[in-house]
Structures are given as C-alpha cells and as structure tokens.
Structure 1
Amino acid sequence: MYQQESNVEEIVPNLSRSASIASYGRIDPFLSKPKSQQMTLKGMIKGTKNILGRYVGKWFYDKGIPFDAANSLYFSPIVSAIQRAEPGVKPPTAYELSGPILDEEVEELTKWIEEYKQSWPRIGITLMSDGWLNKVSKNEFLNFLAYSPKGTAVLSSKDASRTKKDANFYVRLYDHIVEEVGDKHVVQFITDNARACVFAGSKLIEKMKHLVWTPCAAHNIDLMLEEIGEIKIVKETLEEARCLKEIVYL
C-alpha cells in the first residue's frame, strides 16, 4: 500500500494559534499544530475529510448557523471553490461580504428578475400573497411573489403593521399589485382564506374576468386542523398531551 506522510499544515497553512473557544480564552486544541504521522492514502483522504468537517462544524457552532444550511444548494459549490483556490487566497472579509460582494449579488439577481419578467407575456405567472409577522418588532408584512415554470421571485413587500386590514384594504392592495405587475400577465392569484381576503379575491375576478383566484391550500388545511382541534375529544387529548410533554421535559 502506498505510504505518504500526512501534513495537515498544507491544508490550513496560516491558521492562527490564538483562536479561542466561546471567547473564554482557552486555546482550541484542534487548532494547534498536529503531529505528522504515516498513514495510507485512503486514511489521508478520510482524515482530510474529517478535518474539513471539523472546521466547517466549528464555524457553524461558533456563529449559531442552522444545521440545515448545509443542505443549501450553494454549500457544496463553496467547498469546491475553496478546493480550486490557489494557496494563499484569503477568504472574503466582513466588509467585502456586506459591500462589493453583496452589490454583485444584487446586480446578478436584478438582471435575472428582468430576464424572468421577459417570459411573462408568453407563459404568464401565478401571483401569490404571503403574510409574515416579525415576532420581535411585531411588524406585519405582506409579501407578493411571482411563480412560473421559470422559477419564483419576490416582487414586493408591504408593511401592513399600522393598517386596518379590512376587506377594502385588501381590495385596493390586490388591485394595485395586479396593475403593477400587469393584469394581462397574471393568470392566477393565490391568497390566504381570511374573510377579507376572500372578499377581495371575489372582487378582483369580477373586475378581471381572465384571472383565477385560488385560496391557499396550506392555509385551508391549517384552518381545518384548528377546527378539528376544537372537537371535545380531540381537544381533551391535546391538553393531556401538552401536560405530559411538560412533565417529560421538566
């Protein structure tokens, strides 16, 4: 079997020796210089992957990055780009990420959206409304998205925190959004099932005969489950389950 000396220093040649864990001042032993040792090529590959995983893991843990971020379609390309980078290439700084690099991403996304809009006259879009509540600031936003076979894009976001959200509000808002996008491009409009939204949707299709209004299926299911939860035997069972959960996690 081919033998070769493992030199982890080649992977992270300029690693700082002053790194600490959770700001307690303790030097992370993993970041100290490892000892060279003889190992097989298979062992080297396995060891290198483990080292990569450990460093990525430490970054995730240190900054509280959600684990499912590793499922992002951009995660593997990051690793590939790092592998292709020449020795000595430094990672982007916080300034670069929040400045020039962000500007490039905005420019690229803006260009994609403009190209995306070019397909609307040919294939049309489904316009979707999605409410979102900021649990910290208590601000409520209404997001509008466009969907077509070419993809999904967020078109706009309206702050509805200090607005009376009655039927008239939604009628005016939906009418404005459709006109802004171009009513001839909108094939379907999906909203939630609040009474005011249902009323606004019915008014919208009265005005625009070609448009189809559709209630959100997920919201429908949510409302159904809420009603099922009010059935006596179901409600009592849920309350018992909540009590049991409190005991188990004490």
Structure 2
Amino acid sequence: MTILEIDSLRKTFKMHVVGGKRVVGLDDVSFDVEDGEFLAIVGESGSGKSSLLKCLYRTYIPSGGAIRFASTDGDVDLASCTEREMLALRDDEIGYASQFLDEIPRVPAVDVVARPLVEDGVPRPAARDTARDLLTELNLPEELHDAYPATFSGGERQRVNLARAIAPRPRLLLLDEPTSALDPETKAAAIDLLDRYLTDQTTVVGVFHNRDVVAQVADRVVVLDDAALQRVVDVEAYVDETSSDTERPKSEVGA
C-alpha cells in the first residue's frame, strides 16, 4: 500500500533582499513511499533534501504539485489542505524531528518527550516512564532528564528532539538529519532504537548525509541533485554504487 505519493512537487523561493531573485528549491520531484518502509533522502548540500522534508510537513508551502497522504480518514493532499487539517494530522498521524530542538523554556527534558504521549491520552506517569526509557536508550545522562534542554549541548538537544518525535510512534515520521550531532556511540544507539522501537505501522522518511547510517536503516533511497530527483533505488544498490567513493583517494572523490 502506498502511504505517500509525491507528484511533480515544486518549491521556489523569492529572495526579497536581492531584488526578488527566484531560487529553485525543488523542481518537479515525484516518487511514492510505501506503508511501513524507511525511505532515506540523500544528496549534496543544497540539493533540496530539507526543502522536500519541510514541504511534506508543510513548514514550507509548495509552489506546485501534490503530496497525497493516505490518512486514516481518507486521502489528503498535504500541498493544498487547510492549516486546520494539517495541524490535526500533525497531532494524530505525522511526526517530525528537525536538527534543532525548539521547545518551551523551563520545561524538563522528560516532559518535552512525554508531552505528545500525554496529548494522545497516555497517563502522565506512564508517559514520563516511557520518556525516561527513551532518553536513557539515547545515552542522555539520568541527571539531565529533569533539567532544561535550553542548557544542553547540541548533541544532547538532538537526543531529546529524536526521543520526542518517535515517542508516540506516528504513522508517518519525518526526520531531518536526526543523528548529525551525535557521537559514534550515541549514533549507533539511535539507529538501534529506531529499529527496535518503531514498528511496521510507522513509515519513516529521513534526510541523511552519512552513507553508513543509510545502509543500516533504509529500505530505499531517494537521490536528489540540484533540486531535482535523480533516482530512487534499493538501499543495496545505493551502497554498491557509492562504495567505490570510499575506496578512492580523497583527492579523486568527486573528480
């Protein structure tokens, strides 16, 4: 079953500070996402990865095209639905973790993670227990569970952000570089947690820059370049076609 269908998606930015110059963020991108799969989005810096993810979450309003999402209440076009519809989907079915944590000041990390569970009707004590378990799995020291994320390092904040996003096990989870600020040990723990905690009922679309992470988590890979879709391949094919780059001298890679 297809849960997400991206059809001719376009996004153009108007740069008012440089005389209204238009910059293409996405150019006629189309692909499908199957229910329960883990789809990785890769590409060079500026290729459109984060723009694509933000269009899916409607942080950006697409300039054209369609994003058909198979909601539990019927198909919804995320590119054109109302703000009320989009907010309802974020509450009930679509989760998102950016690279940066944006939270209410003076709220302890455990409550940041527990909040979406409480909003889903989970009793507060049980929600906080789950939150502590997730934070522990992500190697956040126990003494920080009741501390304020505003005082945390970038990697610690990213762990809280990831835990909050996966806690309610949304039907569609969007991840924007979820492991970029993590040390190798915590990155491995995060990958393991994504595999164990999320079930087949959660479909994941994630932006990644690390080939090894992609190889461990993804089923298929969307490759973007210069705002356009280059190809969609199985993860095995992606690993095979990129492995030669790791075997060449650095001076030759990208030549």
Instruction: Identify the TM-score tier after normalising by the shorter chain.
Output: under 0.3
- RCO comparison, higher one (Cα < 8 Å, 6+): 2
Q: Which has the higher strand share?
A: 2
Tell me the TM-score normalized by structure 2: 0.22
**Is the radius of gyration larger for structure 1 or structure 2?**
1
Structure with greater helix percent: 1
